[in-house]
Amino acid sequence: MDKAKKFRQLLNADRHFFLMEAHDGLSAKIVEETGFPAIWASGLSITASLGVRDNNEISYTQLLDVLEYMNDACDLPILVDGDTGYGNFNNACRLVQKLEQIGIAAVCIEDKKFPKTNSFLETKLDALADPLEFAGKIRAMKATQKNPDFVVIARLESLIVGAGVEDAVNRAKMYLAAGADAILVHSKRPNSKDIDDFLAAFDRNVPIFLVPTKYYTVPVSHLTRDKRVRGIIWANHNVRACVTVMQEISKKIYNDCSIANVEGEIAPVTEIFRLQKNEEYLEMEKKYLPEYSNLSAVILAAGGPGPLDFEKPKSLLKINGKSILEHQLDALRSVRLSNITVVRGYKRDEIQAKDVKLIDNPKWKDTNAAYSLSLAVPDVKEPYLVLYGDVFFKRYLLRSILDYASEHPSSDMILVCVKEDYIKGGYYLRLNKRPDVFGDDDELIVIDVRREREAAKDGDVVYFSGLMMVNNHLAVQQLLEEEDCENLHISDFMGHAVDKGMKLSVIMSSKEAIVDINLLNDLMKAGELL
């Protein structure tokens, strides 16, 4: 249903309703989930969240930017605090046009001069707008709107500035005659006397909105005895709550030089993700991103624990509650890749997974990754991904390598590499050019594989991350069959592939996107990446 129509139905119902303040997309979503039927987009709250005064210091276009995020974040109708309409009748008409364009349901404007000052600050009688001019502004706004359900509410400031009940009643009648759909009457007394007097003196049967920010001790049952009182606005309490909590948390972190004592007092990051509708994104990802159903994946998880002697395979070490293997399987399935093989070795029976093929490497103590790969590939009839069982990576790397493979069919293998200057041993891949040169169309190609760093030319050397794509699976299988894989390291295999003229392309990754888990510090780093 159109949001303006929703608000119109609330307005025309025979019962009162509550509007809760929101000032951004996140607070709008929270208000919706709490159960409120409508939102008050408070001018004070929005300006406060932007760090400026509620004195027309932001333009209506800046207001529209915030409102668009709020409207997109929830399905509730939003009543906008439109201040004075941001100028004369022409500015107010423009405001209505733009509010309708982004789907806002209603706007409230107050009868003060532009630029306005917040009503709870000291105000004077001369702050009031000329009632004839303000009535003309209302008339122009109603003539401008295209949606018949869009609501324009006239806000009376007579009681705020001390002009009295009679002035408020006279102004209300003029604004209703000009076409206003409802009246908002405002007061800063700590009791409801002004409001009670106005309701007694005002004889028109129209919807009335109240804002009991100052007279909060008055029971709602008292305020709503008059059936014309349709909307009760809780005007600024979310932004005030934010200020209180942020001040407390910031002070505690500052004093403690730690976040350990606040984690139990604030929302977990997962709650933020939920409010951001990340689950919706994941479902859309499955629906709209490319499916790589013609591909396979091989996870090499046969090796022992290495320096991380936790008496379990490294692939089962947990990062934020899930094993490395689970993270890898989730990543592979996010691209709808289901033909997955896991090669086991050390404590093989502990490695279990649904809907994957399990292959055992009985010689895991005496062989390397190349041998494990040779056991898996005879049954693979299409291009495939290869993942070390102890590598954790951001999912976008997976899509990057798959996209690269489709765009470079001449590449026999595509390797994800990093510039790991701190690594002192192992195998190093020397490239055709420096890997830190970006923005051109030249591919990064492996031209040599060296064991010693000193033997490689500085600047041209990268380190294999443990993630690669075998694009030419037939050529790779033939090479594996020709080699003595039991005595072959995966990097030896890469060197032999280069010697035979195979094309090994390289995609560079930052160290902030992929981690080879060898030390406890690597586990901690992977947790930070999540």
pLDDT at residue 497 tops 50: yes
Tell me which residue range forms the domain holding 261: 245-275
Same domain for 163 and 190?
yes
In a domain, 190, yes or no: yes
pLDDT at residue 424 tops 60: no
Q: Which two tokens stand for residue 409?
A: 């069919």
Same domain for 462 and 491?
yes
Same domain for 200 and 264?
no
pLDDT at residue 55 tops 70: yes
On whether the CB atoms of residues 290 and 490 are closer than 8 A, the answer is no
Weakest mean pLDDT among 131-145, 382-396, 447-461: 447-461
Weakest mean pLDDT among 170-179, 407-416, 447-456: 447-456
Same domain for 284 and 270?
no
Per-residue pLDDT at 386: 93
In a domain, 240, yes or no: no
Q: What is the pLDDT of residues 238-258, one digit of tens each?
A: 999 999 999 999 999 999 998
Same domain for 383 and 442?
yes
Beta partners for residue 300, in sequence order: 343, 388
Strands 208-210 and 229-234: parallel
Per-residue pLDDT at 454: 53
- 3-state secondary structure at position 41: strand
Query: Please, what is the average pLDDT of the chain?
Result: 88
Strands 106-110 and 78-81: parallel
Same domain for 102 and 200?
yes
Q: What is the pLDDT of residues 85-129, one digit of tens each?
A: 999 999 999 999 999 999 999 999 999 988 877 776 656 666 899
Q: What is the pLDDT of residues 14-33, one digit of tens each?
A: 999 999 999 999 999 999 99
Per-residue pLDDT at 436: 61
Distances (CA, A) of 46 to 77, 300, 417: 17, 53, 46
Cα separation, 415 vs 418, in Å, equals 10
Same domain for 445 and 479?
yes
In a domain, 93, yes or no: yes
Q: At 196, is the pLDDT very low, low, confident or very high (cuts 50, 70, 90)?
A: very high
Q: What is the pLDDT of residues 500-524, one digit of tens each?
A: 999 999 988 887 788 887 777 776 7
Q: What is the pLDDT of residues 430-466, one digit of tens each?
A: 888 877 644 455 688 888 887 665 554 555 678 888 8
Average pLDDT estimate for 288-295: 67
Weakest mean pLDDT among 2-11, 198-207, 224-233, 487-496: 487-496
Same domain for 372 and 509?
yes
**pTM exceeds 0.85, yes or no:** no
Out of 225, 254, 275, a domain closes at 275
Q: Which residues contact 107 (CB under 8 A, 6 or more apart)?
A: 79, 80, 82, 95, 96, 99, 141, 151, 152, 153
pLDDT at residue 292 tops 70: no
In a domain, 135, yes or no: yes
Q: At 286, is the pLDDT very low, low, confident or very high (cuts 50, 70, 90)?
A: low
Which residues are designated catalytic?
54
User: Residue 507: which CATH number?
Assistant: 3.90.550.10
| 359 Rama sector, left if φ>0, alpha if ψ -120 to 50, beta otherwise | beta
Q: What is the pLDDT of residues 139-155, one digit of tens each?
A: 999 999 999 999 999 99
Weakest mean pLDDT among 17-26, 78-87, 316-325: 316-325
The residue to which tokens 């994800």 are assigned: 416
Per-residue pLDDT at 437: 46
- Closest-CA residue to 386 (of 340, 344, 347, 421): 340
Per-residue pLDDT at 421: 56
In a domain, 414, yes or no: yes
Out of 226, 256, 275, a domain closes at 275
Cα separation, 488 vs 363, in Å, equals 13
Helices 60-73 and 89-101: crossing angle in degrees, nearest 10, is 20
Number of domains comprising the chain: 3
pLDDT at residue 529 tops 70: no
In a domain, 124, yes or no: yes
Q: Identify which has the larger pLDDT, 21 or 312.
A: 21
Same domain for 269 and 329?
no
Same domain for 264 and 206?
no
Weakest mean pLDDT among 53-57, 235-239, 240-244: 53-57
In a domain, 145, yes or no: yes
Same domain for 327 and 179?
no
In a domain, 473, yes or no: yes
Same domain for 142 and 55?
yes
